[in-house]
Amino acid sequence: MPRLLTTVTLSIVLPLLTLLGAQARPCIVTDAEWNLLAFGFDGKDYNAGSQDTWASDATPTEITADSRPPFNSPVTTCYLSEFANSIYVLNGDSSSPSTVHIYNVPSKAWTSHPVALGDYQASSPNTAVILDRDTDVFYSLSAGQMYAVNMTAVTEAPNGEPSPGEDKEWKLVGQSPFEGYDRPTMALAQNHIHFIGVPGLQDGDADVFVIHFSYFQPETQKYGDFPSTHGQTASMFLATGPVQEEFAFIPDDGSNTYIINVVSNTTQTIPGPSTKDANATYFGLPTALIQLASDGAVSFLAYNGEDASKNAAASWEGVKVLPAVEDVVNGGSSSGNGDGNGNPGNTGNGNGNGGGDSNAQGGGEEGSALSLSARVGMVVGVLGLVVGLVGV
């Protein structure tokens, strides 16, 4: 009898465990015309339009298309390939971490491209990645090694086959010179990768990898005044076409947002997002910095590349045009007064980073998808029932 009861009960538990895991990690990015794109919002994708509509009650355009990835990994990330006007998605499918999914903005179509991993730890939460604007090459620091993959070889491969003489694979570039740098914070500007929080660095300093010469610069670069600590970054695209000259750095402690200019070697200190979230992700465009909090809420800060005084006085606004997200991958946490519609409340200055998993905290209407806490409660309750029945 106990065995029969256990079998019956497990037939209930297993679907609930599947339900618990059927969540998504959304991501935000813009296209080459700076329209906000949101992917993995409860199984749907949206074009939220230009910046002047983000805080309005306008209706976004749904762009959900066939062959899209499920956005079900806790480390899903999206990148704008400006020249191709395409969105590259890494870890969009937890069952296939070696696949790069590409959304072509003009055609509104998805393609999938397998890329050999080798020793590269694609799905590690401690792996940091940037996409170089000019070369269309991904660079990643993972487990103390620098890796790279040329997306031109991936996107131009006919019928899924590699281009002549070039493999579609993450290639080892070299050993990192940084000791004990287990959770890297990487930023892109001027075709250089900047490393913040490297052990031994002083506040305002960064170590540098020179992309076009493929080497780690031996000298530390001084950029002004920001804490040498772990955080999240966003490269600030420019509207006029040249390579990015600035990047945003948001430390884990939620103190401020720092805009670092690698040409003038200076740093602006501007307000952090209203939602202090050590697991948020960010995207920078010429006129705004966008935050995707770990509960799925999206907000933005208007940015003026010509007037630092306006940036210091700016305030974050919720992106109301996007729907609230019910299902996000569990992991991190955030703080802030939400309005129940996925928009952060005003809790003062704060900031965070996207260096971890996210936590389901978004509000929603009655009858919507089950929240993470509800799912956990269901599974725990049934598991308790199993234990009780087995002991009968």
Domain spans of the chain, in order of start: 1-23+372-392, 28-359
Q: What is the pLDDT of residue 326?
A: 83
Say if pTM beats, i.e. exceeds, 0.85: no
Q: What is the pLDDT of residue 254?
A: 77
∠ Cα 155 160 163 (to 5°): 60
Mean pLDDT of 355-369: 30
Q: How far apart are CA 203 and CA 117, in angstroms?
A: 35
CB-count burial class (<10 Å; 0-12, 13-18, 19+) for 203 = exposed
User: Could you tell me which of 148, 169, 144 has the C-alpha nearest to residue 212?
Assistant: 148
Give the residue with greater pLDDT, 353 vs 277: 277
Mean pLDDT of 223-252: 94
Q: Which fold has domain 28-359?
A: Neuraminidase (2.120.10)
263-312 pLDDT, tens digit per residue, is 999 999 999 989 999 999 999 999 999 999 999 999 999 999 999 999 99
User: Could you tell me which of 290, 292, 294 has the C-alpha nearest to residue 302?
Assistant: 290
User: Could you tell me which of 207, 193, 186, 206 has the C-alpha nearest to residue 134?
Assistant: 193
